[in-house]
Structure 1
Amino acid sequence: MSTAGTGTAGTGTAGTGTAGTADTAADAGGGETLYLEPRLEERPAALLTTGAAFLHTLVDALGSPLNVVLPGQIAENAERFRAVFRRHRLTGRVFFAHKANRSSALVRRLVTTDAALDAASLGEMQHALASGWTGDRIMTTGPKDPEFLWLALRAGAVVNVDGPGELERAAELVRAYGLPRCRVVLRLSGFETSGTTLLSRRSRFGTPARSLKHLLDTADRYRDAVEPIGVGYHLDTTSLDEKAAALEGCLTAMEEMRVRGFSPRAVDVGGGFGVNYLAHADQWSRYTTALTRAVMGERPPLTWDGHGYGLRMENGTVKGALGLYPAHRPLAGAGYLDELLSRPAAGLGGRPLGTLLLESLHELYVEPGRALVDQCGITLGRVLEVRATDTGAHLVRLAMNAGDVGLEDHGVLVDPVLLPRDIGDGGGAGAGHAAVHLMGNLCLESDLITRRTVHLPRLPRPGDLLAFPNTAGYCMDFGATHAQRQPVARRVAVEREGESWHWCLDEQYWPITRPGGQRT
C-alpha cells in the first residue's frame, strides 16, 4: 500500500449537523434545521477527521467521484454475525452477498476469515475464485445461465435452486459432464401460517412452500446427481414476523425432507438484516414528521419541486406510503439476526427458533449483503459550483452524478460530511448553517444527488469535498454508468497503521504483508 499523509488527530474537520447545536437554526423556508447526521463507527469516523487532508490528496490524484473501502471493517462485521451463532450455540456459515459491492479488496479481505460467499452471477463466481475462494465456501443464488451453473458445479459450490426446472438443469449437467454430486439448497417462498393470518410477501424467487412435494419428487428422480442439504428463503422485507414465519416453515419443510428419505442439515434464512444509517432517532422522527407536514402544505417544502417520497395530497388528505428505507434502525445487522433466533415459533410450541435449530442439529446459513458491508465504504465528490436560488437554498454542483452515489435510489436519507479544502477552515456548526440542493454533473433535470434539501454546517465552496458515508451496501456502484462519458468512480482500499493512512487501488489490494510489515 502507498502512504499519503499522516493525518494526525485534530487537523481535519468533518462537518456534519449535530443534534443540540444547530437543530433549532432557521432553514431556507423559515423552519427548523433538519439534520440527518450519519452514524459513524471508529474506522470511518477517524478517516473523515484525522484523514481529511489524506482524502483530498486521493481525490486530487484519482479524480472525483472516488470510492473508498475499508477492508478491515468487513472482517469485524463478519465476526459480529459469528458471535450471534456462538450465543445461540449454532453451527453454520455467514455468506457475503457479493452483489452488494463489486470491491476486490473487501472480497479478498473476507476470504481470510471463516466467512463464505454468495455469488449471484457468472462474473461474481469468477471474481470469487480469482480472489482466493474455493468452491466449498461458495453458494450460488439468483438466476443462473448454463455457463454460471456449469462453473458452480465444476467448482463444487452449493447451488441455491429456485425451482424444479433449475434443479433438473443442474442434475443434467452433472450427468452430462460426469461431475461430482451437487449439493443444493431448495429455496422456498409463500409460507402459510397458523392462527392469525400473516400475509406472505410475494416473490419472483423460490418455490411456494405448498409445492414442496413437487420439488422433492424432482430431487428424488435425480438422487445420483443432486444432494438436497437443506431449505431456505430470502424475503425482501424488514418484518421480523414475516421472517420468523418463513423460518418456522423451513423447519417444517426439513421434517418433510427427512420423511422422504433425504438427510438435510442446513436452513438458509437469507439476508435483509438491515443497517442503521443515522446517529439520532429523534432526527429521523423529526424529519419524517416535517416531510408529511410539508406535503400537507403546513410548512415550506423540504425537497426539490415538492417531491413527497411517495406521499401526496388528494382532496385535503395525505395519500400514498413513505417510500424510504428506515434510516434509523436500532435493531439491525447481527442484532436483527439475534432477535430473529430468539423469536418464539408460534406454530411449533412457542419455543425460540434458535433453540429449535439447535435441538434439530441444523446448521444455520445467513446471506447478509448490506449488513456485512456496513461502515465499509465512503463515496467522495468534489464541489464544482455553488450558486444561490430565489428560494434561499443554494445549488451545489458536484463532480459526480446520482448513479455514483445511490443512497436516494435505495430510499436512504443521510447527510454527507463536509471536508473543507482549507483544513484550517473550521466548517463546524459555528461557521453558519446552509440549506443546499445537491446536483449532479449530467445534463439532465433528473440528475439530483439528493431530492431533499440538505442541511450543512456551512455553505460549501468549490474545491471542498462532500463525503457520503456508508455507501458500500448497494449505494456505491450498483447504478454507476458511463452516461455522457462522465467518469465512473475509481475505488481505493484504505487502512490505518498507527497515525498514518495507507492506500492502494482496490484491484491491487491483497491481504498479505510484505517484508517490512507493509500490507499490499
Structure 2
Amino acid sequence: MSEPLYLAPRLEPRLASLLDSPAFLHPLVTALGSPLNLVLPDQIADNVRAFRAVYARHRLGGRVLYAHKANRSSALLRRLAATGPAAAVGVDVASLGELQHALGAGLTPDRIVATGPKDPDYLWLAARTGVTVAVDSPAELTSLARLVERFGLPRVPVLPRLSDFAAPGTRVLTRRSRFGTPAADAGPLLDLVEKHGDSVDLTGVSYHLDTMGLAEKAAALDGCLRVLDEARRRGLRPRCVDVGGGFGVDYLADGAQWERYTTELTRALLGRRPPLTWEGHGYGLRGENGTLRGTLSVYPAHRPVAGPRYLDELLAQTAPSLGRPLATLLLENLYDLHTEPGRALTDQCGLTLARVLEVRVTAAGERLVRLAANARDIGLEDHGLLLDPVLVPAAPRPEGNGGPPAGSGVAAGSGDAAGSGAGAGVGVYLLGNLCLESDLITRRLVHLAHEPRPGDLLAFANTAGYFMDFTADHALHQPIARKVAVHREGDTGPWSWCLDEQYWPHLTAGDDA
C-alpha cells in the first residue's frame, strides 16, 4: 500500500488549543448545527501587532487596514476597532454594506478607506461621512467631486488607484487589471484632482495587484513614488502610499509535504501510481500520452515568506528606477505606508466544523465520508487550497492506532490532525450534503490518521480568510453555517463563546489603544 500523503495545517498555539478541546467543540455543534464557523477575535489583534512590528523595524508610519471582504464577521471587525493605536489600525471596505458595518462596529471615518467599485449610494455615504476614498477612475473622481459640490460637503480625502506600472530600464511582466488608472495616465488624473481641488484632497496614491511577485509589487511602489513626486511638483501635498494586500498565508505545517504531494499528483496523472483524486481530477494538469500538460491551478499552500514577513521583504526591495530600498525612499520623503491585508490578518483567526454523517466503501474500495456541510460552506478547493482537516472524535480512539502527527500542534487523545506519517492512515473522499454530483468538499484523496465515524467532527483549520462565507448560500434549502466568537482569559483559561453578532470587545479583551 502507498504511504499516505498528508497536508497538515499549520496551527499556532491559540488555534491548536481550541482544536484540542473536543468537550467544548462537540456541544457547540450539537447546539448550533453543522456546519459551524468559529472566529477568534483576539488573534486578529495579535496579527495587527505583527504587521506593526514591521513598520517599526523600518521606522515607518501609516495604517494597517483590514480588508473586510475576507470575512463578514462582526466580532473580528469590532475587535479590530478596539485595537490601537487608532492612527495605526483601520479597515478597507469594498461595498456600501461593508462601510455601514465598519461605522457600526466603532471605526471612525478617519480609520476607513473605501475601495472597490462604487455605486452612487456607496459613494454618497463615503462622501457624507468623510472616509478616505480610493478612487478607481477619472469618472469616479468626477462623480465624487460633484456629490461634494452638490451637498456642500467638506473636501473628501482621496487615494487614486493606479495600475499597469512599467519601471524604466526594467523588464517586469505585469498582469493587466480591470481596476485603477494606468500609471502612464497619471498626468491627466492629477489635472483632474487640481480641477476639483475644492472638493477632493489628494492624500496619496494606491495600488492593489493580483500577484504574489515581489518584483512586480516593487515596480508598482516605485511607480507610485514617481507619481507622488509629480504631485508635489504641482504643489499638491500627498502624504502616503497604499500598497493594498496580497501578503499571503503559509497554511502548511511542513513544506516537505507540499513538495511530496505535488510530485505524487503528477505521477498519478501520468499513470505511474494509483489515483490521488476523484475521477482523475488534475487541478489544471492532465496527462496526455505520457506527457504532463496544463498548469497547476492551486494556491501555494506552503509560503514561508508570507504575511508580515512578505511586507518586510517588499520594503527591502530596491526600487527599479530609483535605485534605493523602498523603505528608505518612503522614510526620506516622509510618506506613510498603508497596507490592506485580508487573508494575512485573518491568519489563524478561525475554523469551520462539520459533523460526519456517513462513512461508506464503494465496490472499488474507495471510502466516502459524507458531511453535514457542502462545498459552498467550506470553500477551500473553490479557492484552490489543498489542506487536510483535523479529526475531532466524538469518543477517544484506542491507543496504538495512529495518533496525532508530528508538527500538527494537536495533543494526543483529542483531535487527530491529518498530518505526517503517524500510523498507516486512511484515505477518504469528503462529500457534501447537496444532491449534486459536483458537491465534493475535496476532489483530493484526503489521508487521516484514523477512519472517521458518524458523529465525529472534521475541523477545517484557518478558514477565516475567504473560506467561511465567501461562497456560502442556501442551495437546496440547506442551512448555511452560523458563526460564533470564541475567547478565553489568558492562555490557559476555559473557552467561552457567544454568537458572532453578540460579541463586543469591552466584555472580553479590553481596549488595546
With the shorter chain as reference, the TM-score category is over 0.9
What is the deviation of 1:367? 0.2
What is the deviation of 1:425? 5.1
Q: Is the 8 A contact 1:66 1:379 kept in 2?
A: yes
Correspondence for 1:184: 158
Instruction: Please list the CA deviations of residues 480-513 of structure 1 after superposition, one character each: whole Å capped at 9, or x if unmatched.
Output: 0000000000000001224311000000000013
Correspondence for 1:475: 467
Whether 1:102 aligns to 2:72 is: yes
Q: Give unpaired runs (5+ residues) of structure 2.
A: 405-421
Taking the aligned partners of 1:199 and 1:217, their CA distance within structure 2 comes to 28
Taking the aligned partners of 2:482 and 2:455, their CA distance within structure 1 comes to 19
What is the deviation of 1:432? 4.8
**Alpha carbon RMSD of aligned pairs, Å?**
1.4
What is the deviation of 1:220? 1.5
Taking the aligned partners of 2:508 and 2:38, their CA distance within structure 1 comes to 22
Count matched residues.
Answer: 485
> What amino acid is aligned across from residue 167 of structure 2 in structure 1?
T
Bigger drift between 429-438 and 108-117 goes to 429-438
Q: Is the 8 A contact 1:415 1:455 kept in 2?
A: yes
Q: Is the 8 A contact 2:4 2:424 kept in 1?
A: no
Bigger drift between 162-171 and 293-302 goes to 293-302
Matches within 5 A, 1:152-163: 152-163=126-137
Q: Is the 8 A contact 1:163 1:206 kept in 2?
A: yes
Taking the aligned partners of 1:445 and 1:371, their CA distance within structure 2 comes to 33
Matches within 5 A, 1:92-131: 92-114=62-84, 115-131=89-105
Correspondence for 2:407: none
> What amino acid is aligned across from residue 25 of structure 2 in structure 1?
L
> What amino acid is aligned across from residue 32 of structure 2 in structure 1?
L
Whether 1:374 aligns to 2:347 is: yes
Equivalent residue for 1:246, pick from 217, 220, 223: 220
Correspondence for 1:223: 197
Correspondence for 2:283: 309
Correspondence for 2:409: none
SS at match of 1:60: helix
Taking the aligned partners of 2:340 and 2:31, their CA distance within structure 1 comes to 36
Matches within 5 A, 1:64-75: 64-75=34-45
Whether 1:89 aligns to 2:59 is: yes
Taking the aligned partners of 1:303 and 1:514, their CA distance within structure 2 comes to 44
- Normalising to structure 2: TM-score of the pair? 0.93
Instruction: Please list the CA deviations of residues 50-100 of structure 1 after superposition, one character each: whole Å capped at 9, or x if unmatched.
Output: x11100010000000000000000000000000100000000000000000
SS at match of 2:394: coil
Equivalent residue for 1:193, pick from 160, 167, 173: 167
> What amino acid is aligned across from residue 290 of structure 1 in structure 2?
E
Cα distance, 1:464–1:514 mapped onto 2, change above 3 Å: closer
Correspondence for 1:44: 15
What is the deviation of 1:294? 1.1
Equivalent residue for 2:23, pick from 43, 49, 53: 53
- Normalising to structure 1: TM-score of the pair? 0.91
Whether 1:145 aligns to 2:119 is: yes
Bigger drift between 196-205 and 483-492 goes to 196-205
Equivalent residue for 1:510, pick from 491, 498, 504: 504
Cα distance, 1:395–1:424 mapped onto 2, change above 3 Å: closer
Correspondence for 1:9: none
Taking the aligned partners of 2:179 and 2:310, their CA distance within structure 1 comes to 23
> What amino acid is aligned across from residue 422 of structure 1 in structure 2?
A
Runs of 4+ in 1 over 3 A off after TM superposition: 423-427, 429-432
Taking the aligned partners of 1:259 and 1:314, their CA distance within structure 2 comes to 59
Taking the aligned partners of 1:358 and 1:419, their CA distance within structure 2 comes to 49
Correspondence for 2:411: none
> What amino acid is aligned across from residue 380 of structure 2 in structure 1?
L
Matches within 5 A, 1:113-512: 113-114=83-84, 115-349=89-323, 351-423=324-396, 428=403, 432-497=424-489, 498-512=492-506
Cα distance, 1:431–1:348 mapped onto 2, change above 3 Å: closer
What is the deviation of 1:477? 0.4
What is the deviation of 1:316? 3.2
Question: Identity of aligned pairs, percent?
Answer: 64
Taking the aligned partners of 1:477 and 1:404, their CA distance within structure 2 comes to 7
What is the deviation of 1:424? 5.6
What is the deviation of 1:391? 3.4
Q: Is the 8 A contact 1:193 1:245 kept in 2?
A: yes
Q: Give unpaired runs (5+ residues) of structure 1.
A: 1-29
Q: Is the 8 A contact 2:218 2:320 kept in 1?
A: no
Instruction: Please list the CA deviations of residues 77-124 of structure 1 after superposition, one character each: whole Å capped at 9, or x if unmatched.
Output: 000000100000000000000000000000000101131000100100
> What amino acid is aligned across from residue 57 of structure 1 in structure 2?
P
